[in-house]
Amino acid sequence: MKKNIAEFMGTFWLVLGGCGTAVLAGSHVGLTGISLAFGLTVLTAAFGIGHISGAHLNPAVTLGLWAGGRTKGRDIIPYIISQILGGIAAATVLYFIVTGSGKEIGGFAANGYDALSPDGYGITSAIITEFVMTFIFLIVIMGATDERAPKGFAGVAIGLALTLIHLISIPVTNTSVNPARSISQAIYVGGDALCQLPVFIIVPILGAMAAGTVYKAVFK
Protein backbone atom coordinates (compact mmCIF):
# COMPACT_ATOMS: atom_id res chain seq x y z
CA MET A 1 0.00 0.00 0.00
CA LYS A 2 2.87 2.40 0.71
CA LYS A 3 4.14 1.86 -2.83
CA ASN A 4 0.72 2.53 -4.33
CA ILE A 5 0.24 5.71 -2.30
CA ALA A 6 3.70 6.85 -3.38
CA GLU A 7 2.83 6.26 -7.04
CA PHE A 8 -0.44 8.15 -6.60
CA MET A 9 1.32 11.12 -5.03
CA GLY A 10 4.20 11.09 -7.49
CA THR A 11 1.93 11.02 -10.54
CA PHE A 12 -0.22 13.72 -8.96
CA TRP A 13 2.89 15.88 -8.69
CA LEU A 14 3.97 15.16 -12.25
CA VAL A 15 0.62 16.15 -13.75
CA LEU A 16 0.11 19.14 -11.48
CA GLY A 17 3.66 20.40 -11.99
CA GLY A 18 3.99 19.70 -15.70
CA CYS A 19 0.48 20.25 -17.03
CA GLY A 20 -0.12 22.96 -14.44
CA THR A 21 2.84 24.92 -15.77
CA ALA A 22 1.59 24.48 -19.34
CA VAL A 23 -1.96 25.57 -18.51
CA LEU A 24 -1.33 28.30 -15.93
CA ALA A 25 2.08 29.68 -16.88
CA GLY A 26 2.75 28.50 -20.42
CA SER A 27 2.44 31.96 -21.91
CA HIS A 28 5.04 33.22 -19.44
CA VAL A 29 7.64 30.44 -19.46
CA GLY A 30 7.24 29.07 -22.99
CA LEU A 31 8.20 25.67 -24.34
CA THR A 32 11.51 25.60 -22.46
CA GLY A 33 9.87 26.36 -19.13
CA ILE A 34 7.17 23.73 -19.63
CA SER A 35 9.78 21.15 -20.59
CA LEU A 36 11.82 21.98 -17.52
CA ALA A 37 8.73 21.73 -15.31
CA PHE A 38 8.05 18.16 -16.40
CA GLY A 39 11.69 17.24 -15.86
CA LEU A 40 11.74 18.81 -12.41
CA THR A 41 8.65 16.89 -11.29
CA VAL A 42 10.32 13.59 -12.14
CA LEU A 43 13.65 14.62 -10.63
CA THR A 44 12.10 15.71 -7.34
CA ALA A 45 9.77 12.71 -7.20
CA ALA A 46 12.70 10.38 -7.79
CA PHE A 47 14.42 11.69 -4.68
CA GLY A 48 11.18 12.03 -2.72
CA ILE A 49 9.57 8.63 -3.30
CA GLY A 50 12.04 6.68 -5.42
CA HIS A 51 13.20 4.69 -2.41
CA ILE A 52 9.59 3.69 -1.69
CA SER A 53 8.08 2.73 -5.05
CA GLY A 54 10.78 3.40 -7.62
CA ALA A 55 8.91 6.54 -8.75
CA HIS A 56 7.54 5.10 -11.99
CA LEU A 57 4.74 7.73 -12.24
CA ASN A 58 3.80 6.29 -15.60
CA PRO A 59 2.04 3.06 -16.74
CA ALA A 60 4.38 2.81 -19.72
CA VAL A 61 7.41 2.95 -17.41
CA THR A 62 5.94 0.26 -15.16
CA LEU A 63 5.29 -2.06 -18.10
CA GLY A 64 8.64 -1.25 -19.68
CA LEU A 65 10.47 -2.08 -16.45
CA TRP A 66 8.48 -5.30 -16.19
CA ALA A 67 9.51 -6.22 -19.74
CA GLY A 68 13.09 -5.47 -18.71
CA GLY A 69 12.88 -7.70 -15.65
CA ARG A 70 12.94 -4.83 -13.13
CA THR A 71 9.34 -4.88 -11.88
CA LYS A 72 7.34 -7.77 -10.44
CA GLY A 73 4.16 -8.76 -12.23
CA ARG A 74 2.06 -8.44 -9.09
CA ASP A 75 2.89 -4.73 -8.88
CA ILE A 76 1.72 -3.82 -12.38
CA ILE A 77 -2.04 -3.42 -11.90
CA PRO A 78 -1.88 -1.65 -8.50
CA TYR A 79 0.80 0.72 -9.81
CA ILE A 80 -1.13 1.58 -12.98
CA ILE A 81 -4.37 2.17 -11.09
CA SER A 82 -2.56 4.42 -8.60
CA GLN A 83 -0.87 6.36 -11.38
CA ILE A 84 -4.07 6.97 -13.32
CA LEU A 85 -5.95 8.03 -10.19
CA GLY A 86 -3.10 10.34 -9.20
CA GLY A 87 -3.12 11.97 -12.62
CA ILE A 88 -6.89 12.44 -12.58
CA ALA A 89 -6.73 13.93 -9.08
CA ALA A 90 -4.14 16.46 -10.24
CA ALA A 91 -6.17 17.32 -13.36
CA THR A 92 -9.19 17.85 -11.12
CA VAL A 93 -7.28 20.28 -8.92
CA LEU A 94 -6.01 22.08 -12.01
CA TYR A 95 -9.54 22.20 -13.46
CA PHE A 96 -10.89 23.94 -10.37
CA ILE A 97 -7.99 26.38 -10.33
CA VAL A 98 -8.60 27.37 -13.95
CA THR A 99 -12.38 27.55 -13.82
CA GLY A 100 -12.29 29.25 -10.42
CA SER A 101 -11.12 32.39 -12.19
CA GLY A 102 -13.98 32.18 -14.67
CA LYS A 103 -11.77 31.02 -17.54
CA GLU A 104 -12.37 28.16 -19.98
CA ILE A 105 -9.98 25.23 -19.77
CA GLY A 106 -9.15 25.40 -23.46
CA GLY A 107 -6.78 22.69 -24.63
CA PHE A 108 -5.83 21.91 -21.02
CA ALA A 109 -2.41 20.59 -22.15
CA ALA A 110 -4.10 17.54 -23.68
CA ASN A 111 -2.17 15.45 -26.17
CA GLY A 112 -3.20 15.23 -29.80
CA TYR A 113 -2.40 15.18 -33.48
CA ASP A 114 -3.81 16.92 -36.57
CA ALA A 115 -5.87 19.86 -35.28
CA LEU A 116 -4.88 19.08 -31.68
CA SER A 117 -1.15 19.10 -32.44
CA PRO A 118 0.47 22.41 -31.46
CA ASP A 119 2.11 22.65 -34.88
CA GLY A 120 -0.39 20.58 -36.87
CA TYR A 121 1.50 17.29 -37.12
CA GLY A 122 -0.49 14.24 -38.27
CA ILE A 123 -1.01 10.82 -36.75
CA THR A 124 2.06 9.25 -38.39
CA SER A 125 4.34 11.87 -36.87
CA ALA A 126 2.59 11.45 -33.53
CA ILE A 127 3.05 7.66 -33.50
CA ILE A 128 6.71 7.84 -34.48
CA THR A 129 7.42 10.59 -31.97
CA GLU A 130 5.69 8.93 -29.03
CA PHE A 131 7.21 5.52 -29.72
CA VAL A 132 10.78 6.77 -30.14
CA MET A 133 10.65 9.21 -27.22
CA THR A 134 9.25 6.61 -24.84
CA PHE A 135 11.75 4.03 -26.07
CA ILE A 136 14.68 6.33 -25.35
CA PHE A 137 13.17 7.40 -22.03
CA LEU A 138 13.08 3.78 -20.86
CA ILE A 139 16.62 3.11 -22.03
CA VAL A 140 17.76 6.09 -19.94
CA ILE A 141 15.72 4.90 -16.94
CA MET A 142 17.07 1.37 -17.11
CA GLY A 143 20.61 2.55 -17.66
CA ALA A 144 20.53 5.16 -14.90
CA THR A 145 19.10 2.65 -12.39
CA ASP A 146 21.36 -0.21 -13.43
CA GLU A 147 23.43 -1.54 -10.54
CA ARG A 148 26.54 -0.78 -12.59
CA ALA A 149 25.62 2.92 -13.00
CA PRO A 150 27.01 5.67 -10.73
CA LYS A 151 24.96 5.79 -7.55
CA GLY A 152 22.78 8.74 -6.58
CA PHE A 153 22.40 10.35 -10.00
CA ALA A 154 19.52 8.38 -11.52
CA GLY A 155 16.92 11.02 -10.72
CA VAL A 156 19.01 13.74 -12.35
CA ALA A 157 19.54 11.75 -15.55
CA ILE A 158 15.89 10.74 -15.79
CA GLY A 159 14.61 14.25 -15.09
CA LEU A 160 16.91 15.79 -17.68
CA ALA A 161 15.93 13.11 -20.21
CA LEU A 162 12.26 13.97 -19.76
CA THR A 163 13.08 17.67 -20.16
CA LEU A 164 14.85 16.97 -23.45
CA ILE A 165 11.99 14.75 -24.64
CA HIS A 166 9.55 17.61 -24.08
CA LEU A 167 11.79 20.11 -25.86
CA ILE A 168 11.72 17.83 -28.91
CA SER A 169 8.12 16.68 -28.95
CA ILE A 170 5.85 19.36 -27.46
CA PRO A 171 5.36 20.88 -30.94
CA VAL A 172 4.28 17.49 -32.29
CA THR A 173 1.89 16.04 -29.69
CA ASN A 174 2.22 18.18 -26.55
CA THR A 175 4.33 15.23 -25.37
CA SER A 176 2.71 12.26 -23.73
CA VAL A 177 5.17 9.36 -23.21
CA ASN A 178 2.84 8.71 -20.24
CA PRO A 179 -0.69 7.27 -20.56
CA ALA A 180 -1.69 8.46 -17.07
CA ARG A 181 -0.80 12.06 -17.97
CA SER A 182 -2.74 11.77 -21.24
CA ILE A 183 -5.83 10.22 -19.66
CA SER A 184 -6.02 12.81 -16.91
CA GLN A 185 -6.20 15.75 -19.31
CA ALA A 186 -8.31 14.13 -22.04
CA ILE A 187 -11.21 13.28 -19.74
CA TYR A 188 -11.67 16.99 -19.00
CA VAL A 189 -11.23 18.18 -22.58
CA GLY A 190 -13.42 15.44 -24.09
CA GLY A 191 -14.31 15.36 -27.78
CA ASP A 192 -11.39 14.75 -30.14
CA ALA A 193 -8.94 14.53 -27.24
CA LEU A 194 -10.76 11.42 -26.02
CA CYS A 195 -11.06 10.01 -29.54
CA GLN A 196 -7.30 10.36 -30.04
CA LEU A 197 -6.43 9.08 -26.56
CA PRO A 198 -5.81 5.43 -27.61
CA VAL A 199 -2.70 6.56 -29.53
CA PHE A 200 -1.27 8.09 -26.35
CA ILE A 201 -2.01 4.98 -24.34
CA ILE A 202 -0.94 2.24 -26.73
CA VAL A 203 2.10 3.78 -28.45
CA PRO A 204 4.03 4.83 -25.30
CA ILE A 205 3.40 1.39 -23.78
CA LEU A 206 4.72 -0.33 -26.91
CA GLY A 207 7.77 1.94 -26.98
CA ALA A 208 8.52 1.33 -23.33
CA MET A 209 8.11 -2.44 -23.52
CA ALA A 210 10.29 -2.56 -26.62
CA ALA A 211 13.01 -0.65 -24.76
CA GLY A 212 12.77 -2.90 -21.71
CA THR A 213 13.08 -5.97 -23.90
CA VAL A 214 16.06 -4.54 -25.81
CA TYR A 215 17.89 -3.45 -22.66
CA LYS A 216 17.39 -6.83 -21.04
CA ALA A 217 18.55 -8.69 -24.14
CA VAL A 218 21.48 -6.45 -25.14
CA PHE A 219 22.81 -4.59 -22.10
CA LYS A 220 22.01 -6.74 -19.08
Span 89-129, pLDDT tens digits: 999 999 999 999 888 999 999 999 999 999 999 999 999 99
Q: Flag whether the pTM goes above 0.85.
A: yes
User: Cα 123 to the chain's mean position, in Å?
Assistant: 19
**CATH code for the domain in which residue 14 is found:** 1.20.1080.10
Q: Which DSSP state fits 146?
A: S
- Domain span at 71: 2-219
Nearest CA-CA partner of 109 in 91, 97, 121, 131? 91
Half-sphere exposure of 135 (CA within 13 A, CB side): 13
pLDDT for 141 beyond 90: yes
In the predicted model, what is the mean pLDDT of the chain? 97
Nearest CA-CA partner of 14 in 138, 211, 184, 135? 184
Nearest CA-CA partner of 11 in 36, 169, 123, 46? 46
pLDDT at 133: 98
pLDDT for 9 beyond 90: yes
Q: Domain total for the chain?
A: 1
Q: What is the pLDDT of residues 195-213, one digit of tens each?
A: 999 999 999 999 999 999 9
Q: How far is CA 163 from CA 62, 137, 195, in A?
A: 19, 10, 27
How many Cβ atoms are within 10 Å of 76's Cβ, its own excluded? 15
Half-sphere exposure of 137 (CA within 13 A, CB side): 36
pLDDT at 162: 98
Q: What is the pLDDT of residues 24-46, one digit of tens each?
A: 999 999 999 999 999 999 999 99
